[in-house]
Amino acid sequence: MCYAIPAKLIAIHGKIGTIDYFGETRKILLDLDNVKIGDYVYAQGGVLVRTIPEKEALEILEYWKEIFFELKKTDEALANIDQKNLSPNALAVLQKVNLRKTLHKDELLSLLALKDPKELQVLYEIANNVRSREHGNASCVHGIIEFSNYCTNNCYYCGIREEKALERYRMSQEEIVSAAKHAVNHYGFKALVLQSGEDLWYDDDKLCAIVKEVRKLGVLVFVSFGLRSVETYRKLYEAGARAALLRFETSNADIFAKMRPRTKLSDRINLIKALKEIGYVLATGFLLGLPDETDEDIVNNILLTHSLAPDMYSFGPLIPSSNTPFAKVAKVNPDLVLKAMALTRFVAPDSNILVTTALETLDPSAKRGALLAGANSMMINVTPMQYRRLYGIYDNRIDADREVDKSVQETVELLYNLGRAPTDIGV
Contact positions vs ligand SAM (CB under 6 A): 157-158, 160, 195, 197-198, 224, 226, 246-247, 249, 287, 316, 318-319, 321, 358, 393-394
Residues whose CB falls within 8 Å of the CB of residue 294, separated by 6 or more in sequence, listed in order: none
Nearer to ligand SAM, 351 or 361 (CB): 361
Pairing mode of beta strands 312-313, 281-284: parallel
Residues whose CB falls within 8 Å of the CB of residue 316, separated by 6 or more in sequence, listed in order: 285, 287, 288, 337, 354, 356, 357, 358, 359
In the complex, the smallest distance separating the C-beta of residue 318 from ligand SAM, rounded to whole angstroms, is 5
The distance in angstroms from the start CA to the end CA of the chain is 23
Nearer to ligand SAM, 319 or 380 (CB): 319
Nearer to ligand SAM, 240 or 325 (CB): 325
Nearer to ligand SAM, 103 or 227 (CB): 227
In the complex, the smallest distance separating the C-beta of residue 250 from ligand SAM, rounded to whole angstroms, is 9
CA–CA dist 217, 214 (Å, integer): 5
Nearer to ligand SAM, 57 or 337 (CB): 337
Nearer to ligand SAM, 132 or 250 (CB): 250
In the complex, the smallest distance separating the C-beta of residue 260 from ligand SAM, rounded to whole angstroms, is 9
In the complex, the smallest distance separating the C-beta of residue 325 from ligand SAM, rounded to whole angstroms, is 11
Nearer to ligand SAM, 129 or 195 (CB): 195
In the complex, the smallest distance separating the C-beta of residue 381 from ligand SAM, rounded to whole angstroms, is 13
CA–CA dist 244, 238 (Å, integer): 13
Nearer to ligand SAM, 43 or 241 (CB): 241
Q: How many helices (H) and strands (E) does the chain have?
A: 15, 15
In the complex, the smallest distance separating the C-beta of residue 68 from ligand SAM, rounded to whole angstroms, is 34
Which of 195, 226, 198 lies closest to 211, judged by CA?
195
Beta bridge partners of 42: 50
CA–CA dist 192, 180 (Å, integer): 7
Residue 102, classed as helix, strand or coil, is coil
In the complex, the smallest distance separating the C-beta of residue 306 from ligand SAM, rounded to whole angstroms, is 18
In the complex, the smallest distance separating the C-beta of residue 160 from ligand SAM, rounded to whole angstroms, is 6
Nearer to ligand SAM, 171 or 418 (CB): 171
In the complex, the smallest distance separating the C-beta of residue 165 from ligand SAM, rounded to whole angstroms, is 16
Closest chain position to ligand SAM (CB): 226
In a 10 Å sphere around its CB, with 0-12 CB exposed, 13-18 middle and 19+ buried, how is residue 259 labelled?
A: buried
Quick one: DSSP state of residue 186?
Answer: I
CA–CA dist 138, 68 (Å, integer): 10
Beta bridge partners of 52: 40
CA–CA dist 332, 319 (Å, integer): 8
In the complex, the smallest distance separating the C-beta of residue 396 from ligand SAM, rounded to whole angstroms, is 11
CA–CA dist 82, 348 (Å, integer): 23
Kindly give the residue spans of alpha helices, DSSP state H, lying in 221-347.
Answer: 230-239, 253-259, 265-278, 295-307, 334-347
Phi and psi dihedrals of 303, rounded to 5?
A: -70, -35
Which of 71, 94, 70 lies closest to 81, judged by CA?
94
Nearer to ligand SAM, 21 or 394 (CB): 394
